[in-house]
Amino acid sequence: MKNVRRWQWLGVLALAALALPARGAEVGLTLDEAVRLALAQSKGAQLAQLKVDEAALGVKLAREQRYPRVNVLGLAGRYHEPLDVKVKAGSLTSLLDGVGTDLGLGPLSPTLGQFPATDLTLLRGERHQYLAGVSFLQPLSQQWRIGSGLAAAQAALEAASRERDRTALQIRMGVEQLYAGILLERSRERAQAARVAFLTAKLTDAENAHTVGELLDDAVLGVRAERTQAQADRLRTEQQRAKLTLQLADLIGRPGVDDLPLAGDLPERPAESLEHWLARAVQNPERVVAAAVVRQAEAGERAARQARIPDVTLFASAYWQEGQALLPARGGVAGVALNWEIFDFGRRNSEARRSVVQRRLAETNRDRLEEEAAREIRSAWQDQIYAGELIALTTQALAYRQRAAELARQAVEQGLELRTKALGAEADLRQAEADALGARLQRHIAVLRLGALTGELR
DSSP state letters, 231-253: HHHHHHHHHHHHHHHHHHHHHTT
**Around Cβ 77, how many Cβ atoms within 10 Å?**
10
For residue 204, what is the domain's CATH number?
A: 1.20.1600.10
Classify residue 179: in a domain, yes or no.
yes
Position 11 pLDDT exceeds 50: no
Angle between helix axes 143-211 and 419-453 (nearest 10 degrees) is 170
Work out the average pLDDT over 256-262. Answer: 88
Pairing of strands 128-139, 311-322: antiparallel
123, 144, 174: which is the final residue of a domain?
123
The verdict on 341 and 283 lying in the same domain is yes
The verdict on 180 and 272 lying in the same domain is yes
Question: What whole-number distance in Å separates Cα of residue 101 and Cα of residue 235?
Answer: 123
Instruction: Yes or no: say if 83 and 324 are a contact pair by the CB < 8 Å rule.
Output: yes
Angle between helix axes 217-251 and 143-211 (nearest 10 degrees) is 160
Length of the chain: 458
Question: What whole-number distance in Å separates Cα of residue 179 and Cα of residue 252?
Answer: 12
Tell me what percent of the residues of the chain surpass a pLDDT of 90: 44
Question: What whole-number distance in Å separates Cα of residue 306 and Cα of residue 148?
Answer: 9
Query: Nearest Cα to 35, choosing from 130, 171, 152?
Result: 171
The verdict on 166 and 112 lying in the same domain is no
CA dihedral 143→146→150→152, nearest 10 degrees, is: 130
Instruction: Yes or no: say if 28 and 155 are a contact pair by the CB < 8 Å rule.
Output: no
Residue 213's pLDDT band, with cuts at 50, 70 and 90, is low
CA angle 145, 148, 154 (to 5 degrees): 140
Instruction: Yes or no: say if 394 and 164 are a contact pair by the CB < 8 Å rule.
Output: no
The verdict on 119 and 231 lying in the same domain is no
Classify residue 382: in a domain, yes or no.
yes
Query: Nearest Cα to 449, choosing from 173, 167, 181?
Result: 173
The verdict on 212 and 116 lying in the same domain is no
Question: What whole-number distance in Å separates Cα of residue 61 and Cα of residue 58?
Answer: 5
Instruction: Yes or no: say if 31 and 267 are a contact pair by the CB < 8 Å rule.
Output: yes
- Structural domain harbouring 32: 2-82+133-453
Classify residue 228: in a domain, yes or no.
yes
Residue 21's pLDDT band, with cuts at 50, 70 and 90, is very low
Position 17 pLDDT exceeds 70: no
pLDDT in tens, 143-182: 888 899 999 999 999 999 999 999 999 999 999 999 999 9
* Alpha-carbon separation of residue 145 from 65, 171, 301, 417 (angstroms): 10, 39, 10, 89
What pLDDT is attached to residue 123? 66
Domain count, the chain: 2
The verdict on 277 and 418 lying in the same domain is yes
User: For residue 78, what are the β-bridge partners?
Assistant: 128
Pairing of strands 330-339, 85-87: unpaired
Instruction: Yes or no: say if 295 and 358 are a contact pair by the CB < 8 Å rule.
Output: no
Classify residue 261: in a domain, yes or no.
yes
Classify residue 189: in a domain, yes or no.
yes
Query: Nearest Cα to 184, choosing from 433, 393, 457, 359?
Result: 433
Query: Nearest Cα to 174, choosing from 450, 445, 456, 454?
Result: 445
The verdict on 321 and 408 lying in the same domain is yes
Angle between helix axes 419-453 and 2-19 (nearest 10 degrees) is 10
H-type alpha helices, 65-113:
93-102, 109-112
Sheet with 311-322, strands from edge to edge, namely 69-78, 128-139, 311-322, 330-339
Classify residue 128: in a domain, yes or no.
no
The verdict on 158 and 112 lying in the same domain is no
Classify residue 54: in a domain, yes or no.
yes
Position 374 pLDDT exceeds 50: yes
pTM summary value: 0.74
Q: Comparing 45-49, 185-189, 273-277, 347-351, which segment has the lowest mean pLDDT?
A: 347-351
The verdict on 90 and 77 lying in the same domain is no
pLDDT in tens, 410-429: 888 888 777 888 888 899 89
Position 111 pLDDT exceeds 80: no
CA dihedral 225→229→232→234, nearest 10 degrees, is: -130
The verdict on 35 and 97 lying in the same domain is no
**Counting beta carbons within 10 angstroms of the beta carbon of residue 70, is it exposed (0 to 12), middle (13 to 18) or buried (19 or more)?**
exposed
The verdict on 97 and 241 lying in the same domain is no
Helix (H, G, I), strand (E, B) or coil at 209: helix
Work out the average pLDDT over 127-154. Answer: 88
Question: What whole-number distance in Å separates Cα of residue 179 and Cα of residue 264?
Answer: 8
Classify residue 458: in a domain, yes or no.
no
**Counting beta carbons within 10 angstroms of the beta carbon of residue 205, is it exposed (0 to 12), middle (13 to 18) or buried (19 or more)?**
middle
What pLDDT is attached to residue 100? 76
Position 239 pLDDT exceeds 70: yes
* Alpha-carbon separation of residue 95 from 102, 116, 122, 215, 388 (angstroms): 11, 11, 17, 143, 111
The verdict on 32 and 60 lying in the same domain is yes
